[in-house]
Amino acid sequence: MGTDTLRETALVLENRGGAASNIGMEHAARAPADGYTLVINADNVAFFPHLYQRLPYDLFRDFAPISYLAATPMVVASNPSVPARSLDELIALARRRPDQMNFASAGQGTPHHLAWELFQREAGIRITQVEYRGNGPAMTDVIAGHASLGIFSLGAAQPQFAAGTLRPLAVLSPTRARTAPDIPTTAEFGLPGARMALRFLLMAPAATPREIVDMLNTATRDVLSEPDLATALSRSGFDVGLSTPEEAAEELRAEYTRWEPILRDLGIRLG
């Protein structure tokens, strides 16, 4: 695959959803290592080896990271009818009346679910979780008032904040989001350990030749450096975050290490 060939190659996007993205990850891991089959996923897959008893792939053996792409923080949001206008008011309400609210989960093992479990542990509360088949249905029911709370990506939730159909309470990050500076952080409420983001990265099958990985990294940098694309991502709540293949691999390993004691303490293990 030369540079000219890469520029002329049409992209075919194939959404292989299911099993918290593990179906798509397995498909990508088994694909020919020729640079033509790649996978984009959030680096939350780094906690999957600690979460699942069996995985049909090995994250570090079967994949070659190419680059991080963009990131958006997770945000705690409520239906506007919930009588809590800030995160500390929500925590106080949950401690007084734990049965008054419920949490719409995007499904077991998803980043949204784990972010909620992490937040609950840090805040010292327990709220009933209602499981949905994905983030879309979960958000829809919080908007409709059938569920009280949810944790969503900032990029997905910002249009609802603007419309007033969801109330933002806090982003799960150490610093405020550049695209939503008015929303406080969990750290500001004394919960620095409650942090979660969707940080997307591009990966190839592990046996992909290094020259192809480097070529794809360069092409990714060129595309994401285009001002129009960066502006469009920013408007959707994303910040561009590029990396070298080595930096991407190091960050992925750091996430793996960070989540091992967290999931052990939470006692969450899926089949």
Q: In this structure, are 182 and 105 located in the same domain?
A: yes
Q: Is residue 205 part of a domain?
A: yes
Q: Is residue 52 part of a domain?
A: yes
Q: What is the pLDDT of residue 254?
A: 96
Q: In this structure, are 38 and 80 located in the same domain?
A: no
Instruction: Report how many domains make up the chain.
Output: 2
Mean pLDDT confidence for 114-139: 93
Q: What is the pLDDT of residue 8?
A: 56
Q: In this structure, are 161 and 104 located in the same domain?
A: yes
Confidence of residue 10 (pLDDT cuts 50, 70, 90): low
Q: In this structure, are 101 and 175 located in the same domain?
A: yes
Q: Is residue 5 part of a domain?
A: no
Indicate yes or no: pTM above 0.75: yes
Whether the Cβ atoms of residue 137 and residue 102 lie closer than 8 Å to each other: no
Q: In this structure, are 183 and 204 located in the same domain?
A: no
CB atoms inside a 10 Å sphere around CB 5: 10
How does strand 102-105 pair with strand 149-153? parallel
The whole-angstrom separation of Cα 68 and Cα 227 is 18
Q: Is residue 3 part of a domain?
A: no
The whole-angstrom separation of Cα 271 and Cα 209 is 34
Q: Is residue 229 part of a domain?
A: no
The whole-angstrom separation of Cα 230 and Cα 107 is 30
CB atoms inside a 10 Å sphere around CB 202: 20
Query: Where in the sequence is the domain holding 48, given as residue range(s)?
Result: 22-71+197-223+238-266
Mean pLDDT confidence for 234-249: 92
Q: In this structure, are 33 and 81 located in the same domain?
A: no
Count each helix (H run) and each strand (E run) in the chain, helices first.
11, 8
Task: Tell me the percentage of the chain whose pLDDT exceeds 90.
Answer: 78
Residue 50 burial class via C-beta count within 10 angstroms: exposed 0-12, middle 13-18, buried 19 and up: middle
Q: In this structure, are 164 and 215 located in the same domain?
A: no
CATH code of residue 159: 3.40.190.10
Q: Is residue 130 part of a domain?
A: yes
Q: Closest by alpha carbon to 122, among 147, 87, 150? A: 87
CATH code of residue 249: 3.40.190.150
Give the tens place of pLDDT for each residue, 11-49.
777 877 667 788 889 999 999 999 999 999 999 999 999
Whether the Cβ atoms of residue 1 and residue 215 lie closer than 8 Å to each other: yes
Token code pair at residue 165: 């159909």
Q: In this structure, are 31 and 58 located in the same domain?
A: yes
Token code pair at residue 120: 């609950």
Q: In this structure, are 162 and 143 located in the same domain?
A: yes
Pick 155 or 142 by higher pLDDT. 142
Q: In this structure, are 121 and 163 located in the same domain?
A: yes
Q: What is the pLDDT of residue 103?
A: 95
Per-residue pLDDT for 4 more than 70?
A: no
Q: What is the pLDDT of residue 230?
A: 87
Whether the Cβ atoms of residue 112 and residue 42 lie closer than 8 Å to each other: no
Give the tens place of pLDDT for each residue, 48-101.
999 998 999 999 999 999 999 999 999 999 999 999 999 999 999 999 987 789
Q: In this structure, are 174 and 126 located in the same domain?
A: yes
Q: In this structure, are 218 and 160 located in the same domain?
A: no
Q: Which residue has the tokens 């990508």?
A: 28
- Contacts of residue 180, defined as CB under 8 A and 6 or more positions apart, other chains included, come to 75, 154, 158, 161, 168, 171, 237
What does pLDDT average to over the chain?
91
Q: Is residue 185 part of a domain?
A: yes
